[in-house]
Structure 1
Amino acid sequence: MIIEKPGAFVTPEFLIRQATLPWEIGGAASLRHRTFVTEQGIFPTHDRDEVDKIALPLVAISTMASEADEVVGTVRIHETDPQVWWGSRLAVAPGYRRVGRLGAELIRLAVGTAHARGCKLFLAYVQMQNVPLFEKLHWTGMGTRDLHGHPHMKMRADLAAYPPIEDPARGWMALTKQRAA
């Protein structure tokens, strides 16, 4: 008899919302560090900058028995000029990248939150490997630029595709399924 080892358990439910609790904010910062410093080597020691002082951190949180468990995705948004918003530092933990929709849900929360706050233009510099995802989500490329030694595409969201989200701290439950390996 052959017994197959089951794959790692990944919850099918995630909370998508603005980080408001200290553990959520710390979890977002830790995930960003693991992604942009440790894994990708984009930053030598940390990815923190002046934007963090004004940005709204948004998170995807895994659940266990319907209770919040850990931050497994994050993005931050901020307003640079009246009605001009930027998204940055989108990250999903490696073990959750094969889970459908987490990045897309965070993007939806980011643009929808800014839209509710009067955004008329939402922009992001997107790593080249992520451009196809953003294009599927109604974003348009505006040219490439090297940031921190890596090529990025400046992209603009089509705000008509993103209804305003008035209460990002409330967020929503995203039901996802794991894609086949």
Structure 2
Amino acid sequence: MLCIDDLCEMADAYAPVEYLVREAAQQWERDEAMALRRAVFCIEQGIFARDDRDAIDDHARLLVAMSCNAGMPDQVVGTVRIHRGEAEDEWWGSRLAVHPAFRSQGHLGATLIRLAVSRANALGCETFLAQVQMQNVPLFRKLGWRMLEETRVHGRPHARMQADLAWYPPCHDPVSGFVTRAKVMA
């Protein structure tokens, strides 16, 4: 009897065509998000020595971008966290990270930012802020953010930026989240 593997070979360079961006709903999603943050902020960028976790993680909402295989999430490839600031209606986004192999796929950073602000907007946010690495300022400006001031965070240049909430309708269903498609490669 013939097997599908006898008739069809898998592509050598498989790339997901779809990504699900949502609030982390399962433990494996949270675990992979934290591993990705360590890889980006500790190993790749060298900002932290061993771990980037801090007290904010105890109460932050963790959002994830996951590649999908046959419509099902299978790997966390991006993450960001959101949390309340000092004022009840002030929210912050931080620790935005996308796996290097997926940075040119599906606008993942932009979609994570969109969900972060939209989710906070649904939770009563009146002001959404972030400390943005300088190389990412153009992306945030395209997404309706304005720079408030230049600053340094962990010894590196950043911009304190504020989102224009009019660009971000409230997201009341963060577990369903958003789906984004991969860029078509020519």
User: Quick check: TM above 0.5?
Assistant: yes
Displacement after TM superposition at 1:179 (Å)? 5.5
- How many residue pairs were aligned? 175
Answer yes or no: is the 8 Å Cα contact 2:106–2:180 preserved in 1: no
Specify the code of the residue in structure 1 equivalent to 2:91: W
Match of 2:64 in 1: 59
Computing the radius of gyration from Cα coordinates, the structure with the larger value is 2
Give the TM-score normalised by the residue count of structure 2: 0.91
Q: Give the whole-Å Cα distance in 2 for the aligned partners of 1:14 and 1:168.
A: 15
Answer yes or no: is the 8 Å Cα contact 1:10–1:178 preserved in 2: no
Query: Please, which of 8, 15, 21 is the counterpart of residue 16 of structure 1?
Result: 21
Mark the runs of 5 or more structure 2 residues left unpaired by the alignment.
Answer: 1-10
Q: Give the whole-Å Cα distance in 1 for the aligned partners of 2:38 and 2:185.
A: 26
Cα deviation, 1:82-139, whole Å, max 9, x if unaligned, reads: 1000000000001000113100000000000000011000000000000000000000
Answer yes or no: is the 8 Å Cα contact 2:19–2:106 preserved in 1: no
Q: 1:7 to 1:120 in 2, by over 3 A?
A: farther
Q: Give the whole-Å Cα distance in 2 for the aligned partners of 1:52 and 1:134.
A: 23
Q: 1:179 to 1:37 in 2, by over 3 A?
A: farther
Q: SS at the partner of 1:72?
A: strand
The answer on 1:73 being equivalent to 2:73 is no
Match of 1:127 in 2: 133
Displacement after TM superposition at 1:13 (Å)? 0.2
Q: Give the whole-Å Cα distance in 2 for the aligned partners of 1:46 and 1:11.
A: 29
Mark the runs of 5 or more structure 1 residues left unpaired by the alignment.
Answer: 1-5
Q: Give the whole-Å Cα distance in 2 for the aligned partners of 1:114 and 1:172.
A: 15
**Runs ≥4 residues deviating over 3 A:** none
Q: SS at the partner of 1:58?
A: strand
Query: Please, which of 113, 119, 122 is the counterpart of residue 116 of structure 1?
Result: 122
What fraction of aligned residue pairs are identical, expressed as a percent? 52
Match of 2:4 in 1: none
RMSD: 1.3
Q: Give the whole-Å Cα distance in 1 for the aligned partners of 2:12 and 2:96.
A: 26
Displacement after TM superposition at 1:19 (Å)? 0.3
Q: Give the whole-Å Cα distance in 2 for the aligned partners of 1:71 and 1:19.
A: 10
Greater shift, 34-43 or 171-180, is seen at: 171-180
